Amino acid sequence: MRLDWKEVVWAVLPGIIACFAILYPFFLSPGEFVYLDWRGTYVSLWPLEHFSDVFGQSWLTFRNIPFFLLQIPFILLFGYSASAIFSKVFFLAMFAGASAGLYLFFKEDKLKYLLAVAILCFSPFVYERIMMGQFGVVYNILMAPLFLYFTKKYFDDPNRNSAFLAAFFLTLSTLVQTHGILLHFILFGVISLFYLSNKKHQRPVLATIPYFALFYLLLNLYWIIPLIVLPQAPIFSSIDSSDMNFFEPRDSVSSNIFLKTAAQFGSWREAGLSLSFDLIPRAIFLLALIIFIYISAIGVIEEKSQFNYGLAISAIVGFLFALGSIFPLFDFAVSFVPMFSGFRDSNKFVELVTLFYAFLLPVGLSHIVKKQKKLIFSLFIIGAIAYNYPAIGLYNQLHPISIPPEYYTIRDVLPAQTLYLPKGIYLTYNWSLKAGMDGRIANPISKESFPKILVIPNELDFGSNPSIYPASNCTTTSCLLQNNFSYVILDKCVLIKPNIDWVKQNAEIYKEGDCLTVYKLT
């Protein structure tokens, strides 16, 4: 079969254009995106050299192995520049994957396809997650169209080959983000129920679903076996009411939470973001939202397909669970349903709402518009982008930065286990302020140096339990020595520092850099 390059260009170019439109500040700079939950990727083979310590501690770390393997060629070729270069390639691949999946659905009608790309890529959900540095969540939703395409192919023509492709793309679409497994299984499960309710599909689906399950199991054994064998991480074994209150949808722009969730907003950190919800006159925004919902509903009603029904019900499920503890069943699910404990950000369920709009609004519009289709679809494409226009260039809120090299090289001069101070998984540095907003980022020291350098979380690091570290309450050097720490790193570039002068009293400077000073305990 000959490759049609024109089709390939059509499939990936809109996604690449969307990626550049949103993230162009990062593509025009040698720096990288370093903000909150995205600390960049690896720049050395340290994780490979310390495989057991880095990846062998829980099933969650085992899930990171494929993503790390993808980075190895970049590490070998580019060294300390690997993170910035790999990140750019990764971002482009995500958006290209999104448009490729949508192209497979809508290639017979390019206008529907382009509108779907605009709705998905410029959605408030994707924008807020980029601003939080949660590119695992962004990857999950942008790869969902490929997964959904091969899921639909499987249910339309159930056989071993289509079952394998559905299992493969389910695995691929959830490769980076763990909670995506639950979200995509909700999609798969709800869609399967509608196909099973149809007698035409019932028998062949039931006959081949064991193949799908077997293929998925085999593709994911690398983390399923550790899930069974290794103890669960603390964040996945408990959750309480304080967690729920922290990660409920935010009413940060004085509006109804139900309305915000339907509009694809409501992440826990959006109070510091520029939002179209706040910038566009409320009446115009509400009108746009009503149009979104109405036309998408038309797409469900007019198409009358099991797949579309499945997307619609999945969106309702996503909407309800995105409300967090406001929805009565959420607390129950968190306590008793696997994968829900640790699902502390209920707004991640909005992914299902966004996919509903992206797939069904173009379908509904095509049923409504009979004349001047090109003009009206073009206006809707512009409108879909304008609906969340702060996504363009991220509204100049974030800027690329470079992590000082000493954060990568410090481990090489340390002969023994070292404690990093001040405590904190997320910190603000004088050099990270120019990244934008509050400059709070994931601590870069642990990315390349665990387990040689230990970073203990502080009380502001949500989801972390400092008490599991024996050294967390030490206030004397003798206490640190008793916990097998021979060296301490004090970071001078952290903006807000507690009083840790006690470290210097019984220690001598071993190495000093612009930010990091290493003390040898005596």
d(CA 486, CA 495): 25
pLDDT at 145: 99
Cis before residue 231, ω within 30 degrees of 0?
Answer: no
Residue type, 65: I
Say which DSSP state 249 is in: P
Give the residue carrying structure tokens 């990626």: 19
Residue 508 pairs in a beta bridge with 520
Does the structure show a pLDDT above 60 at 409? yes
When pLDDT is averaged across residues 120-131 and rounded to a whole number, the result is 97
pLDDT at 174: 96
pLDDT at 245: 53
Neighbours of 191 (CB within 10 A): 23
CB 428 within 8 A of CB 439: yes
Q: 76, exposed or middle or buried, with CB in 10 Å at 0-12, 13-18, 19+?
A: exposed
Cα–Cα nearest to 121, from 104, 107, 106, 101: 101
d(CA 492, CA 487): 16
pLDDT at 509: 93
For the chain, the average pLDDT equals 89
Does the structure show a pLDDT above 90 at 354? yes
Q: What angle separates helix 350-368 from helix 306-322, to the nearest 10 degrees?
A: 140
What is the percent of the chain where pLDDT is above 90? Answer: 60
Residue 152 pairs in a beta bridge with none
Residue type, 238: S
Q: What angle separates helix 82-106 from helix 5-27, to the nearest 10 degrees?
A: 140
d(CA 209, CA 186): 16
CB 33 within 8 A of CB 400: yes
Does the structure show a pLDDT above 70 at 278? yes
Chain segment 56-114, per-residue pLDDT in tens? 778 888 999 999 999 999 999 999 899 999 999 999 999 999 999 999 999 999 999 99
Say which DSSP state 341 is in: T
pLDDT at 336: 66
How, if at all, do strands 453-455 and 418-421 pair? parallel
pLDDT at 100: 98
d(CA 75, CA 402): 16
**pLDDT band (50, 70, 90) for residue 204:** very high
d(CA 232, CA 341): 11
Residue 511 pairs in a beta bridge with 518
CB 519 within 8 A of CB 509: yes
How, if at all, do strands 487-491 and 453-455 pair? unpaired
pLDDT at 272: 82
pLDDT at 253: 41
pLDDT at 341: 59
Residue type, 399: H
When pLDDT is averaged across residues 166-171 and rounded to a whole number, the result is 98
Looking at per-residue pLDDT, the higher value among 308 and 339 belongs to: 308
Question: Taking the alpha carbons of 340, 185, 136, 296 in that order, is the dihedral positive or negative?
Answer: negative
Looking at per-residue pLDDT, the higher value among 235 and 447 belongs to: 447
Q: What angle do CA 396, 402, 65 make, to 5 degrees?
A: 105
